[in-house]
Structure 1
Amino acid sequence: MVQTLMLSGCWDRNEINDYAFWIGTALDLSDNGKLQKSAQIAVPADFKSIRGGGGNNQRANIVLTATGSTIGDLTQQIQDKLPRKVFLGHRRSIFIGEKLARKGLIDVMDQFTRNTDTRLRTDIFVVNNGEGKEVLHINSPFNQFSSIVAVDQDRYCRLGDTALRDVLIDVGRDGIRPSMPMVEISPMNPQEKGKIFDVRSVAIFNKHLQMVGEVSGRESLELFWVKGVLKNQFVTEEIEEGSISLYESNLKQTIRTRFDGNKLKAYVKLVGTGRVLDNNTDIDLSVSTERNHIENKLNTIKAKRVEETIKKLQTQFGQDVFGIGEEFHREHPYQWKELRNRWDDIFPTVEVAVEVKLNIQSTGDIRKRIVRKGDKGEKE
């Protein structure tokens, strides 16, 4: 009797060579008002490893662009240009042109919430005064994929780590409005053109996911500190005696709210530790009394400045990107029912007081300042 041996196999499996790895996405608004989508696709034959340098002239990726009316249609148009099946599981960044951001992102975000291939940890940025696809064409000397460079740079640029998940969570809540880091691609000098971009500003959105403005520099750091996103920063503080540079870490915040008659009040407390990097004053910070005096002075200056930043966002944009409304919701759930639908009108009227408690725990390896020639205390 002849026996037949049946062998089963994975006849429907996809080999890795069947995929086109989608590393970065750019979304823009074309001149005729259509939605434009660009994809940074890895070219395996042109790179040795994902962490390799991109300093050579040969790019390890290709940027494909399609124009249409829906995200799904644009994705299919890009797929039509590729001999492999697109795979979104490795996408690291999404770049949104400012023109599209100001028009609104509700329709764009809807697709991200429905596509099961979307990684919610994907970082998201707005391109300041530019288009998202411009960032995809950046040929960084540090990595062959500008989408990965943006993720790493966002981690070290002090503006925290804003992912698609964070934006979607903020969109779904009534007491906070979304914010996103902004990429600046204008070069500071010819050597940086096409190779370097900055992450130093924050885009402010309303509840309809329309960008209404931006803050940059120190104000953007203070925004994220109050929001609870900022973890560390390098700052230089100017006082009457000179300037002091600090590395501030372990940054945290607490917000408390209360009703005072018809007025709503919020109390923000910011805490952290500091390490002195540069002391351009004649103050000996190794002496505890002197150090405490400087701590109090710096904390007072910081508190006043943060209050000014909050007031600016209240009056200029009227959007609660700090999450103060969420604290009212948490602490006063019954009263919040009367506030939630009017929060954009109420937030600018909230009185906010800020307290900063930053402790200088380290004055550096050399505790005393180097004495200049002719300074008091120099040995004769």
Structure 2
Amino acid sequence: MRKLSCTLLLIGTLLISGCWDRNEINDYAFWIGTALDLSENGKLQKSAQVAVPADFKGEKGSAQRANIVITATGSSIVDLTQQVQDKLPRRVFLGHRRSIFIGEALARKGLTEVMDQFSRNTDTRMRTDIFVVNDGKGSDILKINSPFNPFSAIVAVDQDRYCRLGDSALRDVLLDVGRDGIRPAMPMVNTTPSNELEKHKILEVKSVAIFNKDLQMVGEVSGRESLELFWVKGVLKNQFVTEEIEEGTISLYESNLKKSIRTVFDGNKIKAYIKLEGTGRVLENNTDIDLSVSAERLPIERKLNEIKAKQVEATIKRIQLLYGQDVFGLGEEVHREHPYRWKKIRTKWDQLFPTIEVSVKVKLKMQNTGDIGRRIPGIGDRK
């Protein structure tokens, strides 16, 4: 009886252990990056950067890219995805897609139809990073042959996260689109090389594209202004900065960056009070000031904070006058603090935003001034 039971158990185990609908990893084509552009005839163009596993173990110094870029042209995202699938011997898999690149021409035309597909397709990862390509096409980025990573789609993500503007994902853009008190902003990637050695190898992330409520790109800010925009928005976490004062220049690494916004109504006038905070580590001191001495450091700290406050106010004012789009989220603060009044003005926010009076206060503390007090004396400083 015991032998019969064991025999039946073994037979049952054999029957339930099979995988009839298995999908082996070799059956998939891993889609790493997507580019969306306008073709010359005005149609939508989609490019895919797909991993080629066989090239990962190539000989050292091999010119193989370990990926292939496939392009299709059509009228809808779904149709283009099928066209890409038609060119591959494996089933496309979007679970590992890291980034999406939008050509500037398409961004200025509008992204409403593009975003609709991304918001409905359950295969889309909301953590996928999204960029606008400055004065270029998205497919240009996929063709970059970076020496740091075989996938330029991943290089852009790492560069955005560690070098400039912080981590901006598809999820963040879709959330901004669905709210009345903020307008979307996306990092911009640039492929223009500084010299011949960087050509087709290096890309930069140093600008921010500004969109209206219809998801049309209306302008951009770059350099210091782009960092200030994301600081006020609450995205920027750290930055390197050099400030010039009468005594010389001081370079800092600013971290733990935070923001708080308070809004008030003065009659029908809206005022916003923005407070930016953080800590600074002195990296370079080209002045004769001994920053290790509180009596000398604190006045400089106040001066630097006043300079930064005026710079941020100027950036906000410029965006108000040139583009009129609330990429900072001041409207969301009004919504949170004054919900009843917000109901009356939410549909008119694009007209009201340029009229807001903004006051900025910066409170950045120097917590580390280095191992020496004054700078190392030069020949002219010695007696």
Q: TM-score range by the shorter chain?
A: over 0.9
Q: 2:134 aligns with which of 122, 128, 133?
A: 128
Q: 1:33 aligns with which of 27, 34, 42?
A: 42
1:257 aligns with 2:266: no
| Percent pairwise identity | 76
1:59 aligns with 2:65: yes
1:199-222: CA deviation from partner (whole Å, max 9, x where unpaired): 000000000000000000000000
Q: 2:379 aligns with which of 364, 373, 376?
A: 373
In structure 2, the residue matched to 1:266 is 272
1:191-249: CA deviation from partner (whole Å, max 9, x where unpaired): 11100010000000000000000000000000000000000000000000100000000
* 1:35-184 pair list within 5 angstroms: 35-48=44-57, 56-184=62-190
C-alpha distance in structure 1 between counterparts of 2:378 and 2:137, whole Å: 51
1:374 Cα deviation after fit:
4.2
Amino acid paired to 1:155: R
1:150-205: CA deviation from partner (whole Å, max 9, x where unpaired): 11111112201100000000000000000000000011111111000100000000
C-alpha distance in structure 2 between counterparts of 1:282 and 1:152, whole Å: 38
Q: 2:345 aligns with which of 321, 330, 339?
A: 339
C-alpha distance in structure 2 between counterparts of 1:142 and 1:202, whole Å: 24
| Contact kept? 2:288, 2:374, Cα under 8 Å | no
Q: 1:191 aligns with which of 177, 184, 197?
A: 197
Q: 2:26 aligns with which of 13, 17, 28?
A: 17
Indicate how the Cα distance of structure 1 residues 363 and 44 shifts in structure 2: closer, same or farther if over 3 A, else same. Answer: same
Amino acid paired to 2:342: W
Q: 2:232 aligns with which of 221, 226, 229?
A: 226
C-alpha distance in structure 1 between counterparts of 2:124 and 2:189, whole Å: 22
1:318-359: CA deviation from partner (whole Å, max 9, x where unpaired): 000000000000000000001110000000000000000000
SS across alignment from 1:140 = coil
Amino acid paired to 2:45: Q
C-alpha distance in structure 1 between counterparts of 2:369 and 2:226, whole Å: 27
| Contact kept? 2:164, 2:205, Cα under 8 Å | no
C-alpha distance in structure 2 between counterparts of 1:351 and 1:182, whole Å: 28
C-alpha distance in structure 2 between counterparts of 1:63 and 1:309, whole Å: 39
In structure 2, the residue matched to 1:294 is 300
1:303 Cα deviation after fit:
0.3
Amino acid paired to 1:353: S
The Cα RMSD (Å) is 1.7
C-alpha distance in structure 2 between counterparts of 1:135 and 1:372, whole Å: 45
How many aligned residue pairs are there?
374
Amino acid paired to 1:362: N
C-alpha distance in structure 2 between counterparts of 1:125 and 1:374, whole Å: 49
Gaps spanning 5+ residues in structure 2: where?
none
SS across alignment from 1:335 = helix
TM-score in terms of structure 1 length: 0.96
Moved over 6 A (4+): 1-4
SS across alignment from 1:368 = coil
In structure 1, the residue matched to 2:328 is 322
1:294-320: CA deviation from partner (whole Å, max 9, x where unpaired): 001000000001000000000000000
In structure 2, the residue matched to 1:244 is 250
| Contact kept? 2:263, 2:271, Cα under 8 Å | yes
1:77 Cα deviation after fit:
0.4
Amino acid paired to 1:46: D
In structure 2, the residue matched to 1:364 is 370
C-alpha distance in structure 2 between counterparts of 1:296 and 1:11, whole Å: 70
1:48 Cα deviation after fit:
3.8
TM-score in terms of structure 2 length: 0.95
In structure 2, the residue matched to 1:212 is 218
C-alpha distance in structure 1 between counterparts of 2:307 and 2:97, whole Å: 42
C-alpha distance in structure 2 between counterparts of 1:303 and 1:184, whole Å: 29
Amino acid paired to 1:18: D
C-alpha distance in structure 1 between counterparts of 2:251 and 2:119, whole Å: 43
In structure 1, the residue matched to 2:355 is 349
C-alpha distance in structure 2 between counterparts of 1:205 and 1:369, whole Å: 45
1:307 aligns with 2:313: yes
| Contact kept? 2:34, 2:46, Cα under 8 Å | yes
Whichever structure has more helix as a proportion of its residues is 2
